[in-house]
Amino acid sequence: MARGRRPGTSSSREDIAGAARTQFAELGYDRTTIRGVAAAAGVDPALVMHFYGSKQRLFIETMQLPFDAPALADELAAGDRATVGRRVIEYLLAAWEQPHTRALFVGRARASASEPEAAKLLRDQITRELIGPLARSIGADRPELRAALVSTQLIGWVFARWILEVEALRPLDVEQAARVLGPALQRYLVEPLD
Amino acid sequence: MARGRRPGTSSSREDIAGAARTQFAELGYDRTTIRGVAAAAGVDPALVMHFYGSKQRLFIETMQLPFDAPALADELAAGDRATVGRRVIEYLLAAWEQPHTRALFVGRARASASEPEAAKLLRDQITRELIGPLARSIGADRPELRAALVSTQLIGWVFARWILEVEALRPLDVEQAARVLGPALQRYLVEPLD
């Protein structure tokens, strides 16, 4: 090993996870391979299999969000109810500016489009991970529906901005994008839906 | 041929197109193969290649929307400006209830997630096909940005409702979903964005 590490150290596990996240985000699920991830991480494919067992497990285990979602949901729910939509979208837009965090969201969306198991994972995450707990935390009626509606706008933004790379969305910085998207999230989270 | 057709008739071309739309929508781009489409259409793979030349051309040529987009944009733009967002989303939600039309939108979204050429196509279509002309037709300021914002919500709905199949969105019929999504579209199309 060029960097003098023994195979199978936790550092090579992290290298594999990092390479997996990048490849899932850039190539999508089907075009990401154990072999390609191993090559990018500078390890033998057998080591990837040793740690993760399959591409599906590799995906599921490396694409977890890096934040404590329940605590974050409480934090975003605290404060003025009239601006909760704006707080949520500002937090997420800033997170998506970080290449590492963005890769997780983009990778999940890309994989969901072709791999049913990834779609199931994302579907569950929508309800459980951040927006579901947030909708319950602010005491909204119909929290499941509200979380799902928020998710439509979030997924659509990630898809159009970071997968399609729609030109007109590029110039918006975090604050401008939050100003534009905030009212839809505010409505889905708090305001009467009918 | 079981149905007594000569190979290469326009009817087998339509069978191929129908099979391609279904498979792109259900399997995504990478898992759709010339061989699989040919089998579903009951023709030889060589005939698919004869008509389309490559999987990429097969995708591009069979995934065109079945409506006259400029005429539809004018039709949706005519009438009360205060309800244009509602008219757009009602039209599209009703279209997505039709399996054939839905397959086109779902297939485009799925393919865009893995195939850069499909993402480029969808990106261009967003600006040119329906929502861009509509934004210009109602005389909105910043029509490109508005069309892109509308598209984030539309893509996100298609993705969450028809690819992830989020449970909480299922019970909404066209009218209920239009009532819920209409205000966001109305804002993106017409109202001040800052």
User: pLDDT tens-digit profile of A144-183?
Assistant: 999 999 999 999 999 999 999 999 999 999 999 999 999 9
3-state DSSP call for residue A139?
A: coil
The angle formed by the CA atoms of residues A187, A82 and A75, to the nearest 5 degrees, is: 100
Reading the block at residue A111, the tokens are: 């994989």
Could you tell me how many CB contacts below 8 A there are between chain A and chain B?
Answer: 155
Angle at B147 between CA B146 and CA B152, to 5 degrees: 95
Q: For B121-156, how does the pLDDT look when each residue is reduced to its tens digit (9 = 90+)?
A: 888 887 778 899 999 999 999 999 999 999 999 999
| Mean per-residue pLDDT of chain B | 91
Name the band, by pLDDT with cuts 50, 70 and 90, for residue A95.
very high
B145, closest residue in chain A (CA to CA)? A168
Contact B114 A29 (CB under 8 A): yes
- The number of residues in chain B equals 194
List pLDDT tens digits, range A29-46: 999 999 999 999 999 999
Q: How far is A96 from chain B (nearest CA, A)?
A: 15
CB B106 within 8 A of CB B162: yes
> A62, A64, A42, A66: which is closest to A54 by C-alpha?
A62
Largest CA distance in chain A: 63
* Residue A65 · residue A104 · CB < 8 Å: yes
By Cβ distance, the residue of B27, B114, B157 closest to A110 is: B114
Question: Which ranges in chain B belong to alpha helices (H)?
Answer: 10-27, 34-41, 45-52, 55-62, 69-77, 84-96, 99-114, 116-128, 131-137, 143-158, 174-189
Please give the structure tokens belonging to residue A164: 């399609």
Q: Which of A125, A159, A191 has the most B C-beta neighbours within 10 Å, making it the best mutation to test the interface with B?
A: A159
Give the per-residue pLDDT at B7: 55
Q: Nearest C-alpha of chain B: how many angstroms from A105?
A: 12
A81 or B9, higher pLDDT: A81
Q: Give the confidence band of A9 by pLDDT, cuts at 50, 70, 90.
A: low
Q: Would you call B151 and A156 a contact, using CB atoms and an 8 Å cutoff? A: yes
Q: How far apart are CA A3 and CA A118, in angstroms?
A: 34
Rounded to whole angstroms, the Cα distance separating B45 from A52 reads 37
How large is the average pLDDT for residues B156-161? 96
User: What is the CB neighbour count within 10 angstroms for residue B29?
Assistant: 24
State yes or no: pLDDT of B3 exceeds 70: no
How far is residue B118 from each of residues A52, A91, B20, B55, measured CA to CA in Å? 31, 30, 14, 11
**CA distance linking residue A40 with residue A24, whole number of Å:** 12
Q: What is the mean pLDDT of residues B19-30?
A: 92
Tell which residue, A131, A107, A130, has the closest CA to residue A119. Answer: A107
| Mean pLDDT of all residues in B155-179 | 96
Report pLDDT digits (tens) over B35-72.
999 999 999 999 999 999 999 999 989 988 877 888 89
Distance from CA of B39 to the nearest CA of A (A): 21
Please answer yes or no on whether B164 and A28 come within 8 Å at the CB atom: no
Residue of A nearest to B166 (CA): A123
Kindly report, residue by residue over A104-143, the tens digit of the pLDDT.
Answer: 999 999 999 988 888 988 888 877 788 999 999 999 999 9
Among A91-95, B25-29, B186-190, the range scoring the smallest mean pLDDT is B25-29
Q: Name the minimum distance, in Å, from the CA of B5 to any CA of chain A.
A: 35
Per-residue pLDDT at B2 exceeds 50: no
**Which of A153, A188, A194 is facing B152, going by the closest CB pair?**
A153
Q: Which residues of chain B are within 8 Å of residue A29 when distances are taken between CB atoms?
A: 114
Q: What tokens were used for B84? A: 């244009």
For residue B6, name the pLDDT band (cuts at 50, 70, 90): low
Verify whether the Cβ–Cβ distance B147 to A168 is below 8 Å: yes
* pLDDT of B194 over the 90 cut: no
Nearest CA in chain A to B176: A194
Q: If residue A35 lies in a helix (H) or strand (E), which one and from where to where?
A: helix A34-41
> Which residue from B154, B161, B183 is facing A187, i.e. has the nearest CB?
B183
Distance from CA of B180 to the nearest CA of A (A): 6
Structure tokens at B166: 């989020």
Res A20 pLDDT > 50: yes
Select from A114, A181, A183 the Cβ nearest to the Cβ of B30. Answer: A114
Q: Residue for token digits 């010339």?
A: B34
Q: Which residue has the tokens 């509308």?
A: B150
Average pLDDT score over chain A: 91
Reply yes or no on whether the pLDDT at B165 is more than 90: yes
Count Cβ neighbours within 10 Å for each residue of B68-107 and write b for 16 or more, e otherwise. ebeebbeebbeeeeeebbbbbbbbbbebbeeeebbbbbbb
List the one residue out of B58, B57, B65 whose CA is nearest residue B41.
B58
- B42, B84 Cβ separation under 8 angstroms: no
Name residue A99's amino acid: P
Question: Alpha-carbon Rg of chain B, whole angstroms?
Answer: 18
What global pTM score does this model have?
A: 0.88
Give the tokens for residue B113: 């997630």
Instruction: Give the mean model confidence (pLDDT) for residues B88-114.
Output: 93
User: Which bin fits A165, alpha (ψ -120 to 50), beta or left (φ > 0)?
Assistant: left
